[in-house]
Structure 1
């Protein structure tokens, strides 16, 4: 297994993996996002994990800057192919996230998950994360 920065040619795999968590993003849009993030490495890290030359997981790390709090790193996305879950891939990605956070000098690593994703909640709890709060998300579509 190896972890590397995502490249635009990974868009198809990332799009496919996103669908496993009910997020629909077409490969073209995905490639645009990858290109943008690659030009801002001080804010984004989009990593893929390969096993036998196949992308079987990805993780997006984002530096979050709010005026009212200290900046921190957030795991904006973490997906492991359902065929390869419970093999330590997610844990390997989390270790990479922790290392990048510390390397940049941030003191907090945050992750959010939907409260109905019980398996993800258990995974993050085992990884040392503690529940901070529950929120309600509002959105307006235009």
Structure 2
């Protein structure tokens, strides 16, 4: 088992795992995002590959800039294959993100988690994240 940076060839597996979160991207729609992540040093994505070279999880982390606060790292998405849950894979992916973020000089990592994802909320709290606030997300088409 290993954690490695994302590659272009991972697009199909990324898309397939995203479906477990209720999203329905295609490999073709994921590929430009992989390219953008690979080209932007403020972003990184890691995949967890088991001993059979099967991707069983992925995470995307980036350095966020806000005018009113110091830069911080934020996990923008993570999924572990349901068939491999509760095996430490999510914890290992978050640890990799923490190391990546620390190497870039930020002192905090954040994650936003939908309140309806109870298991995910419990996971993040279990590994040391503290809930800071609740918020609403507003969306408007352009």
Relative to the length of structure 2, the TM-score reads: 0.96
**5+ long unaligned stretches in structure 1:** none
1:46 aligned onto 2:15 = no
Q: Which residue of 2 aligns with 1:8?
A: 8
Measure how far apart 1:141 and its partner are.
Answer: 2.2
Measure how far apart 1:25 and its partner are.
Answer: 1.3
Measure how far apart 1:27 and its partner are.
Answer: 0.7
How many pairs align? Answer: 141
Instruction: Describe how 1:23-102 pairs up with structure 2 within 5 A.
Output: 23-40=23-40, 42-51=41-50, 52-102=52-102
Q: Secondary structure at the match of 1:71?
A: strand
Q: Secondary structure at the match of 1:76?
A: strand
| Alpha-carbon distance between aligned partners in 2 of 1:4 and 1:56, rounded to the nearest angstrom | 12
Runs of 4+ in structure 1 deviating by more than 3 angstroms, as ranges, are none
Cα deviation, 1:29-64, whole Å, max 9, x if unaligned, reads 101110111011x21111111002001100000110
| Alpha-carbon distance between aligned partners in 2 of 1:38 and 1:95, rounded to the nearest angstrom | 20
| Alpha-carbon distance between aligned partners in 1 of 2:135 and 2:62, rounded to the nearest angstrom | 20
